[in-house]
Structure 1
Amino acid sequence: MKKILLFASALLLTVSAEAQIKRPQPQPGPMPTVNVQKPQEFTMKNGLKVMVVEDHKLPRVSYMLTIDTPPYVEGAKAGVSSLTSAVVGNGTAKTSKEKFNDEIDFLGANVNFWNTGASASGLSKYSSRLLELMAEGSLSPLFSQEEFDKSKQQAIEGLKADEKSVASVARRVNNALLFGKEHPTGEFVTEQTLNNVTLADVKQNYASYFVPETAYLVVVGDVKFKDVKKQVEKLFKDWKKASAPVAKYAEPTEVAKTQIDFVDMPNAVQSEIALMNTVNLKLTDKDYFAGLIANQILGGGGEGRLFLNLREAHGWTYGAYSSLGSGKYTSKFTSSASVRNVVTDSAVVEFVNELHKIRTEPVTQAELDLAKAKYIGNFVMEIQKPGTIASFALRTKTQSLPADFYENYIKNIQAVTVADVQRVANKFFKKDNQRIVIVGKGSDVAGTLDRLGYPVNYYDAYANPVEKPVFKKAAPVGVTSATVIENHVKAIGGEKKLKEVKSLSVVSKGSMQGMELTMTQKQTNKGQSMMVINGMGMDLIKQVVTPTMGYASMQGQREDLKGDALKDAQASAKMFDELEDLKNAASFQLTGIETFNGEEAYVLKKDKETVYYSVASGLKIATSETMEAQGQTIVMTSTYSDYKEVKGIKVAHTSSLPLAPGMSVEFKVSEVKVNEGVRDADFK
Structure 2
Amino acid sequence: MKKIISNIFIFFLVSTAIAQVDRSKLPEPGPAPEIRFGEAESFTLDNGLKVFLIQNKKLPRVTYTLILDRDPILEGEKSGMLGFVGNMMTAGTKNRSKDEFNEEVDFIGAQISGSSTSLSGSTLTKHQEKVMELMADVLYNPSFPEEELVKLKTQTKSGLAIAKNDPNSISSILTSKLVYGDNHPYGEVETEGTVDNVTVEDIRSYYETYFKPNIAYLAIVGDMDLSTAKDLVEKNFARWERAEVPSQSFEKPQAPEKNIVALVDRSASQQSVIEVTYPLDNFLTSEDYLQSRILGYVLGGGFAGRLLQNLREDKGWTYGASANFGSDDLIARFYAGSSIRGSATDSAINEIIYEIRNLKENGVKEDELKGAKSALSGSFGRSLESPSTIANFAINMERYDLPADYYSTYLQRLNDLTVDQVNASAKKLLKPDNMYITIVGNGSEIQDGLMAFGEVKRFTNAGDPERQIAMDSEITADQVIEDYIKAIGGAEKVRTIKSSKMESVAEIPGVKLNINYVYDENVQAFSNKIMAMGNVAIHTLIMNGKATVTAGGQTQELTDEQFEAAKMNMFIFPELHYEELGYSITLEGINDIEGQNAYKVIVSNPTGAKQINYYAVDSGLKIKSESTDAGEIFYSEYQDVEGIQYPMMSTLKSPMIPVPLEAKVEKLEFNASVSEEDLK
Counterparts in 2 of 1:658-677, with a 5 A limit? 658=653, 660-661=655-656, 663-667=658-662, 669=664, 671-674=666-669
* Deviation sequence 1:289-314 (CA, Å, 0-9, x none): 11111111111222111111112111
Q: Secondary structure at the match of 1:590?
A: strand
Q: Secondary structure at the match of 2:159?
A: helix
* Deviation sequence 1:195-233 (CA, Å, 0-9, x none): 222221111111112222221221212233322321221
Gaps of 5+ in 2: 521-525
Q: Aligned residue for 1:439? A: 440
Counterparts in 2 of 1:347-496, with a 5 A limit? 347-452=348-453, 454-466=454-466, 476=476, 490=489, 494-495=493-494
Q: Secondary structure at the match of 1:331?
A: strand
Match of 1:641 among 636, 640, 654: 636
**Cα gap change, 1:137/1:34 in structure 2, threshold over 3 Å: closer, same or farther?**
same
- Equivalent pair of 2:264/2:459 in contact (CA under 8 Å): yes
**Cα gap change, 1:23/1:50 in structure 2, threshold over 3 Å: closer, same or farther?**
farther
Matched letter for residue 641 of structure 1 = S
Matched letter for residue 324 of structure 1 = F
Q: Aligned residue for 2:159? A: 158
- How far 1:20 sits from its partner (Å)? 8.0
- Equivalent pair of 1:593/1:603 in contact (CA under 8 Å): yes
Q: Aligned residue for 1:605? A: 604
- Equivalent pair of 2:356/2:430 in contact (CA under 8 Å): yes
> Higher mean Cα deviation, 288-297 or 374-383?
374-383
Matched letter for residue 554 of structure 2 = D
Task: Report whether the alignment pairs 1:504 with 2:502.
Answer: yes
Q: What's the % identity of the aligned pairs?
A: 29
- How far 1:458 sits from its partner (Å)? 3.1
Matched letter for residue 581 of structure 2 = A
> Higher mean Cα deviation, 196-205 or 259-268?
259-268
Counterpart-to-counterpart distance in 1, 2:475 and 2:219: 66
- How far 1:103 sits from its partner (Å)? 2.3
Counterpart-to-counterpart distance in 2, 1:3 and 1:493: 29
* Deviation sequence 1:409-462 (CA, Å, 0-9, x none): 11111111111222111211112222222232221121222233x233333333
**Cα gap change, 1:392/1:604 in structure 2, threshold over 3 Å: closer, same or farther?**
same
Counterpart-to-counterpart distance in 1, 2:244 and 2:214: 5
* Deviation sequence 1:477-496 (CA, Å, 0-9, x none): 86598x68966875699446
- How far 1:499 sits from its partner (Å)? 3.1
**Cα gap change, 1:168/1:259 in structure 2, threshold over 3 Å: closer, same or farther?**
same
Counterparts in 2 of 1:508-523, with a 5 A limit? 508=506, 515=509, 518-523=512-517
Match of 1:654 among 649, 654, 673: 649
Q: Aligned residue for 1:631? A: none
The alignment covers a number of residue pairs equal to 660
Matched letter for residue 461 of structure 1 = N
Q: Secondary structure at the match of 2:628?
A: strand
- How far 1:665 sits from its partner (Å)? 0.5
Normalised to the residue count of structure 2, the TM-score between the two structures is 0.87
**Cα gap change, 1:281/1:27 in structure 2, threshold over 3 Å: closer, same or farther?**
closer
Q: Aligned residue for 2:300? A: 299
**Cα gap change, 1:418/1:541 in structure 2, threshold over 3 Å: closer, same or farther?**
farther
Counterpart-to-counterpart distance in 1, 2:303 and 2:535: 38
- How far 1:373 sits from its partner (Å)? 0.9
- Equivalent pair of 1:508/1:670 in contact (CA under 8 Å): no
**Cα gap change, 1:263/1:256 in structure 2, threshold over 3 Å: closer, same or farther?**
same
Counterpart-to-counterpart distance in 1, 2:477 and 2:174: 38
- Equivalent pair of 2:503/2:516 in contact (CA under 8 Å): yes
Q: Aligned residue for 2:523? A: none
Q: Secondary structure at the match of 1:208?
A: helix
Q: Aligned residue for 1:175? A: 176
Q: Secondary structure at the match of 2:335?
A: strand
Q: Secondary structure at the match of 2:633?
A: strand
Q: Aligned residue for 1:590? A: 585
- Equivalent pair of 1:66/1:117 in contact (CA under 8 Å): yes
Q: Secondary structure at the match of 1:187?
A: coil
**Cα gap change, 1:570/1:179 in structure 2, threshold over 3 Å: closer, same or farther?**
closer
- Equivalent pair of 1:322/1:334 in contact (CA under 8 Å): yes
Counterparts in 2 of 1:556-575, with a 5 A limit? 558-564=552-558
Counterpart-to-counterpart distance in 2, 1:332 and 1:287: 14
Q: Aligned residue for 2:279? A: 278
Matched letter for residue 639 of structure 1 = F
- Equivalent pair of 1:273/1:337 in contact (CA under 8 Å): yes
Counterpart-to-counterpart distance in 1, 2:675 and 2:230: 70
Q: Secondary structure at the match of 1:374?
A: helix
Gaps of 5+ in 1: 628-634
- How far 1:615 sits from its partner (Å)? 6.4
- Equivalent pair of 2:268/2:611 in contact (CA under 8 Å): no
> Higher mean Cα deviation, 88-97 or 61-70?
61-70
- Equivalent pair of 2:632/2:654 in contact (CA under 8 Å): no
Matched letter for residue 506 of structure 1 = S
Q: Secondary structure at the match of 2:187?
A: coil
Q: Aligned residue for 1:524? A: 518
- How far 1:111 sits from its partner (Å)? 1.8
- How far 1:73 sits from its partner (Å)? 0.9
**Cα gap change, 1:496/1:28 in structure 2, threshold over 3 Å: closer, same or farther?**
closer
Q: Aligned residue for 1:326? A: 327
Q: Secondary structure at the match of 1:318?
A: coil
**Cα gap change, 1:383/1:217 in structure 2, threshold over 3 Å: closer, same or farther?**
same
Counterparts in 2 of 1:136-215, with a 5 A limit? 136-215=137-216
- Equivalent pair of 1:472/1:594 in contact (CA under 8 Å): no
Q: Secondary structure at the match of 2:303?
A: coil
Counterpart-to-counterpart distance in 1, 2:667 and 2:492: 15
> Higher mean Cα deviation, 584-593 or 441-450?
584-593
Q: Secondary structure at the match of 2:329?
A: coil
Matched letter for residue 109 of structure 1 = A
- Equivalent pair of 1:271/1:344 in contact (CA under 8 Å): yes
**Cα gap change, 1:532/1:38 in structure 2, threshold over 3 Å: closer, same or farther?**
farther
- How far 1:466 sits from its partner (Å)? 4.3
- How far 1:666 sits from its partner (Å)? 4.5
Matched letter for residue 85 of structure 1 = G
- Equivalent pair of 2:499/2:518 in contact (CA under 8 Å): no
Counterpart-to-counterpart distance in 1, 2:237 and 2:497: 70
Q: Secondary structure at the match of 2:244?
A: coil
Q: Secondary structure at the match of 2:320?
A: strand
> Higher mean Cα deviation, 43-52 or 492-501?
492-501
* Deviation sequence 1:577-635 (CA, Å, 0-9, x none): 436972874332213334453511322122435141526455444444435xxxxxxx6
- How far 1:469 sits from its partner (Å)? 7.0
> Higher mean Cα deviation, 357-366 or 262-271?
262-271
* Deviation sequence 1:525-571 (CA, Å, 0-9, x none): 575532246xxxx6899324568998777xxxx45333438996997
- How far 1:323 sits from its partner (Å)? 1.3
Q: Secondary structure at the match of 1:401?
A: coil
Matched letter for residue 522 of structure 1 = N
Counterpart-to-counterpart distance in 1, 2:578 and 2:260: 48
Q: Secondary structure at the match of 1:405?
A: coil
- How far 1:242 sits from its partner (Å)? 2.1
Counterpart-to-counterpart distance in 2, 1:164 and 1:62: 39
Counterpart-to-counterpart distance in 1, 2:348 and 2:63: 45
Counterparts in 2 of 1:50-129, with a 5 A limit? 50-129=51-130
Counterparts in 2 of 1:621-636, with a 5 A limit? 621-627=623-629, 636=631
- How far 1:84 sits from its partner (Å)? 2.1
